[in-house]
Structures are given as C-alpha cells and as structure tokens.
Amino acid sequence: MSRFHCTSVLWLSAALLATAAHAAPGDAPVARGLIVTLKAPADGSRETPQAARERLKTVATDAGLPGAQAPMPVGSRAHLLHFAQPLTGAALQAAERRVRLNPLVASVEPDVRLKRQAEPNDPYYANGTQWHLRRPADGGAGALNLPPAWDRSTGSPSQVVAVVDTGTVPGHPDLQGKLLPGYDLISDLDTSNDGDGRDADASDPGDWISDTEANSARYPGCPAEDSSWHGTFIAGQIAALTNNGVGVAGVSWGAKILPVRVSGKCGAWLSDVVDGIRWAAGLPVSGVPTNPNPAKVINVSFGGSTACTPAYQYAIDDAGAVGSLVVVAAGNENGPLTRPADCAGVLAVGAVRQDGLKTYYSNYGRNVGIMAPGGPGGRDVGPRLYSTANTGTRGPAEHSYDSKDGTSFASPLAAGVASLMLSVNPALTPSELVSRIQAGARAFPSSPGYPTCNVSAPTNSACNCTRETCGPGLLDAEGALQLAYSPAVVIAPVGTVAPGSSLTLDGRGSAAVGGASITAYQWSQVSGPPATLGATNGPTLAVTLPAGARDDWVFRLLVTDSAGRSADNYVTVTTRSGGGDWHDDDDGGGSTGLLWGLGLWALALGAWARRRRAGAA
C-alpha cells in the first residue's frame, strides 16, 4: 500500500535566455510612439531645445513617422515621437528598427501601455492567507511569483491536469465547472469504501479509518484518522475558480481537473496507481473505457519506501511517450528520494517553508526536480497552504477551506505552473517543461541561523538548501513562463539500429508558439564516431552510421522561430548487439545527462543574473 505524502533530457540553447524580451504575438504590446534619446552633438556643445527638435524631426522623417505632432519631452533627456495610430507586432518592431539605425539616435524604446499585474480578488488570496502564490517580496522568499506570470497567461480550458488521488467531492463552490468526468480505479472493495469496484464515479466518499478498523486485519498498519479530502484539496490548489470573489485562487485559473480515484481507506495499491497514471494519460487500461480527456500534466502525491520499481517506471515511461508529464511529491521522510520520486522522467517536488528553507520533513537530494512551498509541518511554525476542503470527518458534509502541509501539496503547485506553460506553448514535451521550470528557478536563500542541508547527515530542523542537496532552485512561475515561449523542439524517437545503418532523424514535430513559425533548422553531431550526414539545415537529417561500430551517437537539433527565439534538443542513436528497444533519454522530465546539466546551469545562472540586475534597478 502507498500513502500520501502529507503532514495534517534537454539542454536548451543559450539563446533561450532572450525569451524574456519577446512577448508572444498574442500578447504583443501596443505602442503609441517611440521614446527616443539623441546622441550628444558631435562638437560637445550644449544643444538648444529648438536644435533638438529639429534633429528629432529629421529622425522621424527618415523613419517614415508622421511629423505633425511635436515631440513630447520625456524625463530629462528623451522625447516621445508619436505614431499616426498605435502600432503592435511586426509593424512596431519595424518602426523601432528604422529609428534605431539612425546615427543621431542613442536609444529607442516603444511607449507601451502598462497594465496592472493580474491579481485575483479571492478573499484568501487578497488577505495574504495564500502567501505562497504571491511575489517573493510580498509572500516570502519561498513564494511562487505568480502575479507576473498571470500577466502572461492565467491558463486555458484546453489544458487538462489529472489528479491521481482520492477523487474529489462534487459541488464545491470553488470547483464548479472545473471537474471533467473522471474514473474510480480502486480495485479493492475494502479500500474503495463506496461499495463497488472500478467505475465512472470518481467522487470521494471519504477515507476515514475508525478506531475499530485501525491496525486491523483489513487495514494493517493504518491508524485511526478522519477523512482527508486529499484530492479535493489538490484540485483547488491547481485550478480553483479564480477571481470570482470566493474562497481561494488556483495556480492555473483556466485549467480543467481530471479526477482519477486510486486511493481510499488506508491508502492506495501500487497496481491501482499505475493504472491511474496510464488512464490519465489516455493509455489503455484493461476492462476500463479509454479516457476521452487525456491530461498533459499528471499529479501523483504518493510515496513508497523503496527505490523506483519497474511497474512505476513503465507507467511513467508510457505516459511520457504520449506527451504527459508526471509530477510527484518528493516525500516527507527527511531522507533521499524513493519511488515514484526517484523514477526517471518525473518532476519530483520537494517542500520549502515561507522563508525558502527546506522543511524539516521534505525528502531531498541532488535528484530533486524543483523545490516549492509545502508549509512548515507540525513540528515547526509558520503559515501553511490553504485550499478547498470539506468539514466531514467521515463522509462528505459542508464544503469548506482548510490548511495542510507536505510535499503532497508542493507537487500540485508545480503541476499548475506546468499547465500555465502549456497554455502558451502546447507543443512543449515533458522534458522541455522540466528543463524550462528548472532553468527559470530562483536561487536558494540562506539563513545564518540554520545548518546547511546534508543528505548524509539529516537534521530534524529546517535547513539551507544547496544545488547538491535540493536540486536546481525554487519554483518561479514567472521564470518558467518566460522560457515557455521558446519553440518546442520535438525529435521523433529512434529504435536501436544495426551498425552501418542509414536512418532519418525527424524534427518535423517541432513547433513555435503564439503565431510564430520555425524559420531555421540546424542539425549537428555532438558525440560518437564520425557519421555521414546529409543536408543539416532542414527539419529532417539523413544519417549513415559507420559500419561495424557499436556505440552511442548524440545528435542536436537547433531551431529558430520568426521572433528570433531559439531552442534545441538532443536525440541518441544506439547500436548494440542483441537488439532490444531503445528509449530516448529525453522522454519524460527527469533527464540528468551531462549535456542537459551544463545547459541547464548556464540558463539558470543567466536567468538568476537577470533577476538580480532587475531587482537592483
């Protein structure tokens, strides 16, 4: 049995760092003119206002801008040159480029309309109870920085997030219209607590254990406890109705939740969780109708005491192969990751407190995918996480809101951010989602009053994270959304081939976002004995491997879109005696190869430096 975690291979190109400067065409800014600063006169003399106006008139004329409206002073040095009508997109970029090329101009930028950052009016967000969704300056060092991300996207109804959990309580006012038809995949009647086996009713009847049931033959090792409403809480975290003046805010306002019930009294059976992951991804499950609403993001907040096993790994591999990212809780044992968090291809999420320090309970290690708010835990103090709940101690009663702690509730926050990313770039693969989340992460804070986390010498208190002990950094929604706008580079999987084979690598599945298009492809060989390559500047690449060689070959595809944004991906081709199936190391979200790692840290350092500069400005 598995119980919840609760307490109460991609290397992106350096050009990806430029994405912060490019808005998606659908969100393109509208400008009424250009703010222009002129170079000082060549002779060093002090220029009169009239002379400056004449030079600005020359700049406007040369750039094809109207001269009827006099330049308006902006600050102490710049002037606004008005357009005849507001410009956006390519027209704005062209006008800005023409002015910038003028030798009289020192700098130019569009005079764009600035909007207030998207902030929901839900009471528990507005009063600070949902501190973890706010900017770090407002909510604490561990907060998700969602307001600027919400300016980019608040999510899309086309994005489905599966909650593989206890099911959900229907009728909650903050989940109205948010729940898709799910499925109950609990195969054991004692666990299901609803009197039947697998069926199309994913509602949660409660998972309480009574005093007489505790530690009984039916529920060995399970203490008495009230119903958890675990899945309902997670559903609200991800996609509660937001900006409706009621209750709580969700991370991805527009997303839909697919409840997949696999857990009941005393937890969940591994076989049911495996089938739940498969069903959520749209894969076949014996005796069950196919899921008509496959989820691109699947949240699994369960743990185990062993390393990843084949049953879990196969389910995660199969989900990744059809484009579904499995996001999992790191675990609450204050130790190294265990299944499913240590499985390849998942995004394992550990928990930090409000101040950004690792909680005393969160599992940790170099293979943690990202750290996110999880609440302090029962032995510590500080604000917890708040979401949708129910007052029933056994069966459902009144709809309510409640607070909880645990990596179970850090994981859904990352799942929600992944859903936001897919709302702006639906072509992103699981590995691309993970690499962008990690590249956009914030650096860990450090508090002198606490020890540095050490996996080999655990401490029973909060501790200061490092990359070696907690992974790439703190989940930052804005950083992740910035990087989501770059093209998705998709290379078709390749099977194990014979030495000397001729094959075609296929990158035609790559896609740009927001109305942009792929304008350039560039293939290259990264490692392995020299292979014969065909034309390297198209979406496909003809490759002939050397005869007699048994080795691994790594090939890179770099694509650039019409907005100037670039990204890359890698594919490995293997020749081995004995055949067998080959799996692309980039499938899923947990790739940690050398190339991927080097690129990730380059991106992360660049993004961190940009934020430091912005914060100091």
Active site residues: 165, 230, 408
- How far apart CA 408 and CA 528 sit, in angstroms, is 42
User: Closest Cα to residue 479, out of 437, 445, 533, 514?
Assistant: 437
| Structure-token pair, residue 607 | 């993004």
Dist CA 11 CA 486 (whole Å):
13
For tokens 């030798």, the residue is: 103
Q: Is residue 34 helix, strand or coil?
A: strand
Task: Break the chain down into helix, strand, coil percent, rounded to 5.
Answer: 25, 25, 50
Hey, which residues does 96 pair with through a beta bridge? none
Q: Residue 319's closest CA among 272, 275, 256?
A: 275
Distance CA 19, CA 574 (A): 33
Could you tell me where the DSSP H helices lie in 159-299?
189-192, 230-239, 270-280
DSSP string, 116-142: -------HHHHTTTTGGGS-HHHH-TT
Q: Give, for 300, the enclosing helix (H) or strand (E).
A: strand 297-300
* CB-CB contact of 80 with 34 (8 Å): yes
Residue at token pair 């799942």: 415
Listed in sequence order, the residues at least 6 apart from 257 whose beta carbon sits closer than 8 Å to its beta carbon are 160, 161, 162, 163, 168, 175, 178, 179, 180, 235, 238, 239
3 state SS of 158:
coil
Distance in angstroms (rounded) separating the CA atoms of residues 87 and 109: 13
Classify burial at 88, counting beta carbons within 10 Å of its beta carbon; exposed 0-12, middle 13-18, buried 19 or more.
middle
Q: To which residue do tokens 């609450």 refer?
A: 332
- Cα distance between residue 384 and residue 376, in whole Å: 6
CB-side exposure of 164: number of CA atoms within 13 Å? 35
Alpha carbon distance 193, 205 (integer Å): 7
Q: What is the CB-side half-sphere exposure of residue 165 using CA atoms within 13 A?
A: 34
Q: What's the start-to-end Cα distance of the chain, in Å?
A: 53
Beta strands in 353-446 (DSSP E): 370-373, 385-390, 399-404
Gap between the Cα atoms of 264 and 531, Å rounded: 55
Burial of 539 (0-12, 13-18, 19+ CB in 10 A): middle
Whether residue 388 contacts residue 172, with contact meaning beta carbons closer than 8 Å, is answered with yes
List residues bridging with 371 in a β-sheet: 350, 474
